[in-house]
Amino acid sequence: MACVVVVYHSVAGHTKSIALSVAKGVSLVDGVGVEVLCVDDVPAFDAKVHQPAWEMLNNADAIVFGSPTYMGSVSAAFKAFMDTTGSLWYVRRWMDKLAAGFTVGGGLAGDKQSTLQAMQVFASQHGMVWVSMGVGVGEKGIDRLSSSIGMMAQADDGPTEETPPKEDHTTAEHFGKRIANATVRWGTA
């Protein structure tokens, strides 16, 4: 069974809610399992210690990165997660896994593209293969922000039941399904 891990950071809960919708989309595809991991629950990597979170990540066939956009890039907590993978990068541990990314911000464009690009460069450093959003211009009710590198959601300053809006969750589910299908096609190593 192929395995997709969604690893995210969230402060107000909006990015977490999108992470769960991406995971729901993944789970809709037969033969693909999904795990959701908050970076708060991922310790600094230590090769000498048994760390279930890192075992999960290292065994994944695809990893989906999710972070709010803070000051034009991933949050510091998400960057700390990225930086601690340095020793895995050194030994090419994530080589050839699939990767994808999503971000949530308060603005419509709001520099969310540079957040996704930071994830894309990071995944490339690991030698991963990047799955894009893949939604066309004519598709209604989905990808309202017109993002292509990864998935974007926009959240107001309100409760997660209300914001991001339903369309962004539909988009996240669609994105999760796409990643799961790509994982099946790519095959397990």
- Residue ranges in contact with a second copy by CB under 8 A: 70-76, 79-80, 82-83, 85-86, 89-90, 92, 95-96, 105-114, 117-118, 120-125, 127-138, 144-149, 152, 182, 185-187
Element (H, E) at 33: strand 32-38
CA distance 182 to 34: 14
Q: Residue 125: what are its φ and ψ, rounded to 5°?
A: -60, -35
Element (H, E) at 37: strand 32-38
Closest distance of CB 11 from a second copy, Å: 10
Please say which residue, 50 or 90, places its beta carbon nearer to a second copy: 90
Closest distance of CB 45 from a second copy, Å: 12
Closest distance of CB 76 from a second copy, Å: 4
CA distance 3 to 145: 28
Please say which residue, 59 or 114, places its beta carbon nearer to a second copy: 114
Please say which residue, 28 or 88, places its beta carbon nearer to a second copy: 88
Closest distance of CB 117 from a second copy, Å: 6
Closest distance of CB 155 from a second copy, Å: 12
116 is written with which tokens?
Answer: 């996704």
CB 175 within 8 A of CB 101: no
Whose tokens are 């894009």? That residue is 132
Please say which residue, 50 or 145, places its beta carbon nearer to a second copy: 145
